[in-house]
Amino acid sequence: MNKLRLTRWLVSLPPTLFLLLFFAAPSLLMIVTSFRYPGEFGGLAPLSALETMTGEGDSGLYGLTLETYHFFFSDILYAEIFLKSFAVATLTTLICLIMAYPVAMLIAKSEKKYRNLMILLVVLPFASNFLIRIYAWMIILGPESAFSHFVNNILQMLGFEPVMLLFSPFAVIVGMVYVHLPFMILPLYTNLEKHDPVLLDAAQDLGANRWQRFWLITWPQSLPGVFSGAALVFIPVLGMFAVPDILGGTGDILIGNLIKDQFLGTRDWPFGSTLSIMLMLTVLCVAGLSMLLARPRTSR
């Protein structure tokens, strides 16, 4: 018994150390950074030289400050970007759910021998580089593409002005959905595959029509899969910067882009850290809510 416990500890030690070193420690660093002053040429101001540098008496305890948080909450712009990111993440999650559900159901109801092949096809896009796939969308949605011409021809026939597909919120959503769809399909499939088909027979036998069978039997049972899929799509989309960078217009800045800019552009590390922490807190709330909703139901 003791030996078994020792083995368990030994086996779990490397991953635990890894997470402590590369997740917990950086997170802690980031929290500390968010309370510091930015350096004159980017990065961080040294803690000791602070008094002399700022020349102000109001420099806070040990060179720490709440200034970045004050800045974050004082400008409505950041709340707007958070809200917009939330809207994009919510919309992406919903579209992914609607598109993934029939696919997952189709796979789950297929013959066993074809299922693995279908799953392989779902994850196959991962085999090519993420950025290349996004650039491919740039071409597909670009003004000279056949797709763009097709859409604009239809719009013209209906009497509308032609539109620019690329560099628009539309392109951002398309890119987001495209990248994250497999993350919705897989947990949904894993859930749906476990459903006992006899339950649908029983529901039908007891008088439920096709819609009632779906909404009263299949859907409620699939909720754990829906919530884990939603979390797997919602959370990464919230922090994603590559897709809006490449496919979005100048007005399509999301939290991810904002954070990236603080570190790589304006080099304001403390504010970048603050934004990251705010994002992390939001994500934790969403994940917690998702777990709460997906918990197994019992009477006690």
> What residues make contact with another protein under the rule CB under 8 A?
196, 198-199, 201-209, 212, 216-217, 220-221, 297-299
Q: Which is nearer to another protein, 168 or 204 (CB)?
A: 204
CA 243, 130, 96, 188 dihedral sign is negative
Minimal distance, residue 189 CB to another protein, in Å: 19
Task: Name which of 198 and 292 has its Cβ closer to another protein.
Answer: 198
Nearest-angstrom CA–CA distance, 17 and 64: 29
What one-character-per-residue DSSP string does 178-213 give?
HHHHHHHHHHHHHHHHTS-HHHHHHHHHTT--HHHH
CB of 219 to another protein, least distance (A): 10
Nearer to another protein, 283 or 294 (CB): 294
Q: How far is the CB of 288 from another protein (least distance, A)?
A: 22
Which residues lie closer than 8 Å to 98 by C-beta, 6 or more apart? none
Of the pair 162, 220, the CB lying nearest another protein is at 220
> How many other CB atoms are found less than 10 A from the CB of residue 103?
18
Provide the b/e sequence for 256-286 (b: ≥16 CB within 10 Å).
bbbbbbbbeeebbbbbbbbbbbbbeebbeeb
CB of 290 to another protein, least distance (A): 18
- Is the Cβ of residue 5 or residue 297 nearer to another protein in the bound state? 297
Distance CA 300, CA 295 (A): 13
Least distance CB 293 / another protein (angstroms): 13
